[in-house]
């Protein structure tokens, strides 16, 4: 199942892009993880932060597919090695698209191209709205949501 979400954010595309790609923004909205990448198409990417393997847990890793500032950020992703023994076989594509709409920004997230029986697909419909709500709140207010953990 593909997942598509549209969020309207009361911030400029530049501000939303900063939240999606800067160390400060990612750490604030992706549960203390950071992105490790050159952001060059074809290069490696990893979301790394506290987790099962300690402070340097790889939560997601993959390859950058597209990186056009304030417009699109797309990557192939695999779950981190500590989550699934067959992590390298499991894959999906994540795409963030930004579009100015009046005085706000439409953030579209598409999570598709799932490998068959990918166990994370079932949770994506719950996990992405939490992350996207956190991105929206942070871009608009500079604060994050308290999810209780």
Residue range 113-131, pLDDT digits in tens:
999 999 999 999 999 999 9
The CATH class, in words, for 3-141 is alpha beta
* Model confidence band, residue 148 (pLDDT cutoffs 50, 70, 90): confident
Q: Over the stretch 28-63, which tens digit does the pLDDT of each residue have? A: 999 899 999 999 999 999 999 999 999 999 999 999
What's the pTM? 0.95
Mean pLDDT of 104-110: 98
> What digits encode the pLDDT tens for the residues 75-98?
999 999 999 999 999 999 999 999
Across residues 7-21, what is the average pLDDT? 98
Q: How far apart are CA 64 and CA 43, in angstroms?
A: 6
* Domains of the chain, residue spans: 3-141
- List of E strands, the chain: 3-9, 34-37, 44-51, 54-68, 72-79, 92-101, 104-112
Q: Is 54 exposed, middle or buried (0-12, 13-18, 19+ CB in 10 A)?
A: exposed
- Does the pLDDT of residue 149 top 80, yes or no? no
pLDDT on residue 100: 98
Residue with tokens 């990448």: 37
Handedness of CA 56, 59, 64, 66 (dihedral sign): negative
């Amino acid at each position: 199942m593909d997942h598509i979400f549209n969020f309207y954010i009361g911030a400029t595309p530049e501000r939303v892009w900063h939240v999606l790609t800067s160390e400060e923004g990612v750490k604030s909205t992706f549960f203390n993880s950071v992105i490790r990448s050159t952001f060059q198409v074809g290069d490696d990417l990893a979301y790394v932060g506290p987790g099962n393997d300690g402070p340097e847990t790889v939560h997601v890793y993959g390859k950058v597919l597209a990186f056009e500032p304030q417009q699109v950020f797309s990557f192939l992703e695999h779950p981190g090695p500590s989550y699934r023994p067959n992590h390298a076989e499991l894959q999906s594509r994540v795409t963030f698209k930004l579009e100015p709409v009046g005085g706000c920004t439409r953030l579209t997230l598409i999570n598709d191209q799932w490998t068959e029986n990918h166990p994370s697909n079932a949770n994506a419909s719950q996990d992405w709205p939490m992350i996207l709500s956190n991105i929206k709140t942070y871009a608009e207010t500079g604060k994050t949501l308290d999810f209780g953990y």
